Every structure is written in C-alpha cells, then in structure tokens.
C-alpha cells in the first residue's frame, strides 16, 4: 500500500486502484472466509457489563427550602398596644331606602329557589 501511495506522490489513488487493493487484501489466505471471527480472539467471549452512570439524573425542578423548626415570632413594637375602638354603625333613617328594590330582590331570589 505504501508503495502505491509513493507512486501517486502520496495523493489519493483512483477508485479502481483502491477497489483492486481491497479485493486483493480480502482474498489473502489470512482473511479467507473471515469477516469477523471470535475464534481468533485470545480472550473468552463475555457479555459487556452495563455502564453505571457516575452521577444520577438530577431533577429539573428546584427543591422546596426546608421549613424552620419553630415559626418565626412576630416583631414586637416599642409602643404599647392600643385597644381597638368599635366601628360606629352607619346612620339609618327610615324611608331612606327604596322599598321596591327590596321587593324586586326578594322576588328574584324566590324565583331562583322556586319558593313562590
């Protein structure tokens, strides 16, 4: 093979020359009838062991942060707590609300509930 490359100035020879070389090499007595022989191997045939990945697959979602053992205490203010003052009810004057609105709402709700 080296002689043929030197004849072609170390460039790629024509396809016909390469095909002839491959047929000559395949027809040699060393390779006659052998495509891939396991008998020529000095080692006994053994199954290939599965490859264990070095790192496990990591989850794509971030994990939740750990919850604290005790809940946080609310911040204490320096001022004393003021007692809550009750809210004052809105002034109500009789007759200030239109009675027809209440009747209309009552009938609409009663119709939906099939009470009437």
For 41-83, write each residue's pLDDT tens digit: 566 667 777 777 667 666 677 667 777 667 667 666 666 666 6
Sequence-ordered list of residues with C-beta below 8 angstroms from that of 107, at least 6 positions apart, any chain: 116
Q: 35, 48 in Cβ contact below 8 A? A: no
Task: Using the Cα atoms of residue 41, residue 43, residue 45 and residue 47 in order, give the sign of their dihedral.
Answer: negative
For residue 10, what pLDDT is reported? 72
Least confident interval from 2-6, 28-32, 34-38: 34-38
Count of residues making up the chain: 116
For residue 102, what pLDDT is reported? 53
Residue-range domain boundaries for the chain = 1-36
């Amino acid at each position: 093979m080296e002689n043929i490359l030197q004849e072609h100035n170390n460039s790629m020879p024509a396809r016909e020359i390469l095909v002839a070389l491959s047929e000559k090499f395949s027809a040699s007595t060393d390779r006659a009838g052998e495509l891939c022989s396991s008998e020529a191997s000095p080692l006994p045939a053994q199954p290939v062991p599965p490859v264990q990945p070095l790192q496990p697959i990591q989850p794509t979602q971030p994990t939740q942060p750990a919850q604290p053992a005790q809940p946080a205490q609310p911040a204490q203010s320096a001022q004393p707590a003021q007692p809550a003052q009750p809210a004052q009810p809105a002034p109500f004057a009789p007759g200030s609300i239109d009675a027809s609105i209440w009747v209309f709402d009552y009938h609409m709700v009663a119709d939906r509930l099939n009470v009437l």
